[in-house]
Chains A and B, each alone.
Chain A
């Protein structure tokens, strides 16, 4: 059965810390991996990864995909309280997106 597993399920850090969120997958016919940030209601798009080993970067956030080992990581450096959210990883295959359970990140000031 295709699935997406995120870890840790929740994380509490202090401002300025660096965090790494993990996403592993078992999906056939992989097309892309996407990361979303969900604060209150609708998720907002962060990254889409299709090629292995190529880092995508946006400000303090970066992400990379390893298609051989079937995982992706999302790094957030110099965390701020505004980074507190649920981070969702999703795999696209065929016509569907399958989401992981998410990682709840709380950044304390």
Chain B
């Protein structure tokens, strides 16, 4: 079945540690996105990528980094510079011609 797979479902980060959230899609979608959701807030855009080897900052990119070496994969690294990383992270994708986003099941990141 086609879809978006995020892993892990739950992740714990220690102080000063970088952690990487995985996002893989087999939908052949060109565009991929990372969103962050905090309690009581909507989804805020961290980074997005329209094509391989290219990505743009979203509204809250500070403290995060991404790569897009393959069409199927768009990993997100939460760096030690992100001082408040505890949140629910959602990866999404869509094709150029279809504006509906497909979402992964998310990763809950917590700080130890």
B43 touches A99 (CB 8 A): yes
Q: Which of B87-112 contact A (CB under 8 A)?
A: 88, 90, 99-101, 103-106
CB closest residue in chain B, given A88: B42
A88 touches B105 (CB 8 A): no
CB closest residue in chain A, given B94: A97
Q: Which of B42-62 contact A (CB under 8 A)?
A: 42-45, 48, 50, 56, 58-59
Nearest CB on A from B11, distance (A): 14
A34 touches B31 (CB 8 A): no
- Give the contact-size bracket for chain B: 20 to 34
Name the prevailing secondary structure of the A interface residues. strand
Tell whether A95 is near chain B: CB-to-CB under 8 Å.
Answer: yes
Nearest CB on B from A48, distance (A): 6
Q: Which of A74-109 contact B (CB under 8 A)?
A: 88, 90, 92, 95-102
B43 touches A34 (CB 8 A): no
Kindly list chain A residues whose C-beta atoms are within 8 Å of the C-beta of B35.
99
Contacts A48-B99, A95-B48 hold; do A42 and B90 have CB atoms under 8 A apart? yes
Tell whether B40 is near chain A: CB-to-CB under 8 Å.
Answer: yes
Tell whether A68 is near chain B: CB-to-CB under 8 Å.
Answer: no
Question: Which of B42, B48, B59, B88 counts the most A-chain CB atoms under 10 A from its CB?
Answer: B42
Nearest CB on A from B21, distance (A): 14
Contacts A41-B106, A42-B105, A99-B35 hold; do A32 and B99 have CB atoms under 8 A apart? yes
B31 touches A98 (CB 8 A): no
Please provide the 4 A-B residue pairs with the shortest distance between their CB atoms, ordered closest to farther: A99-B42, A42-B103, A99-B43, A101-B42
Chain A interface residues (CB < 8 Å from chain B): 4, 6, 9, 31-32, 34, 41-45, 48, 88, 90, 92, 95-102
Given A34-B100, A90-B42, A97-B33, 12 new contacts (CB under 8 A) = A4-B42, A34-B99, A34-B101, A41-B106, A42-B103, A48-B100, A88-B42, A88-B43, A92-B99, A95-B50, A96-B48, A97-B45
